[in-house]
């Protein structure tokens, strides 16, 4: 069965500093990987996804994630964070042939001015 | 932008009462999910539908929960009888294909007292 581990429940970062949010997955078959973001009192929004091809994927607001098959990881990074990045970030996995999305427990990113 | 609409946004009810949550998926989206979010368990998949047919409800306590799609514009999640442990935020999400990502509603915050 597919599963996702997000080891860091909270990550405080100073504004304009870089950040990495870690995600590891487990699956016996090939997978699709996603990062979703949840702002306070809102639903989740798709941030970026890995389906196939280049292992480095980017979002429109400066985040990037790299799929590493050997380490079964899909860590999210941003070189310089802003106050507006304050949110909870969820990593999710979906196996080939299965539409279900399984989410990690989330990482709360707090930006310190 | 097209949105997934959930009603009500907030619901407070007494233990033992029936609760019905509604979701209007985005027109044209043929896959609908129900997730529950709590601090302790994170995001749990309760059930999902494809073309209105239930595909998986293994995450749902069947003795008290039921999920239906009476038509393509409405998905419902019912709890009868409700219990305090059902207190959570319930999210509906819809999509055409996971490769495009799923769109989440703003959620129904349920409090059972």
Distance from CA of A53 to the nearest CA of B (A): 13
β-strand partners of B77: B21, B67
CA distance B101 to B98: 5
Judge whether A28 is closer than 8 Å to chain B, CB to CB. no
CB contact under 8 A, B42 and A101: no
Three-state SS at A83 = helix
With contacts defined as CB-CB under 8 Å, which chain B residues touch A46? 101-103
pLDDT(B100) > 80: no
CA distance A9 to B39: 11
pLDDT tens across the length of chain A (113 residues): 789 999 999 999 999 999 999 999 998 888 999 999 999 888 899 999 998 888 899 998 899 999 999 999 999 999 999 999 999 999 999 988 778 889 999 999 999 99
What are the structure tokens assigned to A80, written together?
């310089």
pLDDT(B1) > 80: no
Q: Work out the percent of chain B whose per-residue pLDDT is above 90.
A: 82
Judge whether A51 is closer than 8 Å to chain B, CB to CB. yes
pLDDT(B13) > 90: yes
What are the structure tokens assigned to A67, written together?
């799929």
Residue B64: Cβ within 10 Å count: 15
β-strand partners of A93: A33, A102
Q: Nearest by CB to B56, which of A45, A46, A100?
A: A100
Three-state SS at A17 = coil
β-strand partners of B45: B35
**C-alpha triplet A40, A44, A47: angle, nearest 5°:** 110
pLDDT digits 0-9 by tens, B52-81: 999 988 889 889 999 999 999 999 999 999
Of A67, A72, A41, the residue nearest A54 (C-alpha): A67
Distance from CA of A101 to the nearest CA of B (A): 8
Q: Nearest by CB to B101, which of A46, A100, A104?
A: A46
What average pLDDT does the structure give for chain B? 93
With contacts defined as CB-CB under 8 Å, which chain B residues touch A32? 98-99
Q: Work out the percent of chain B whose per-residue pLDDT is above 70.
A: 100
Judge whether A103 is closer than 8 Å to chain B, CB to CB. yes
């Amino acid at each position: 069965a597919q599963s996702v581990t997000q080891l860091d429940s909270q990550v405080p970062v100073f504004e304009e500093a870089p950040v990495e949010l870690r995600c590891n997955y487990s699956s016996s078959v090939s997978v699709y990987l996603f990062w979703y973001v949840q702002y306070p009192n809102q639903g989740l929004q798709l941030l970026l996804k890995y389906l196939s091809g280049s292992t480095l994927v980017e979002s429109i607001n400066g985040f990037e994630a790299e799929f590493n098959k050997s380490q079964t990881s899909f860590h999210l990074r941003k070189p310089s964070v802003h106050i507006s990045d304050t949110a909870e970030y969820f990593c999710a996995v979906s196996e080939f042939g299965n539409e279900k999305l399984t989410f990690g427990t989330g990482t709360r990113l707090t930006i310190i001015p | 932008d097209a949105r997934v609409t959930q009603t009500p946004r907030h619901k407070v009810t007494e233990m033992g009462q029936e609760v019905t949550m509604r979701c209007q998926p985005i027109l044209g989206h043929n896959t609908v999910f129900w997730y529950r979010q709590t601090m302790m368990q994170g995001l749990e998949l309760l059930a999902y539908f494809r073309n209105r047919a239930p595909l998986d409800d293994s995450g749902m306590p069947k003795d008290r929960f039921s999920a239906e799609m009476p038509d393509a514009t409405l998905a419902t999640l019912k709890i009868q009888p409700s219990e305090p442990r059902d207190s959570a935020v319930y999210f509906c999400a819809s999509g055409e294909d996971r490769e495009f990502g799923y769109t989440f509603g703003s959620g129904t915050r349920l409090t059972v007292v």
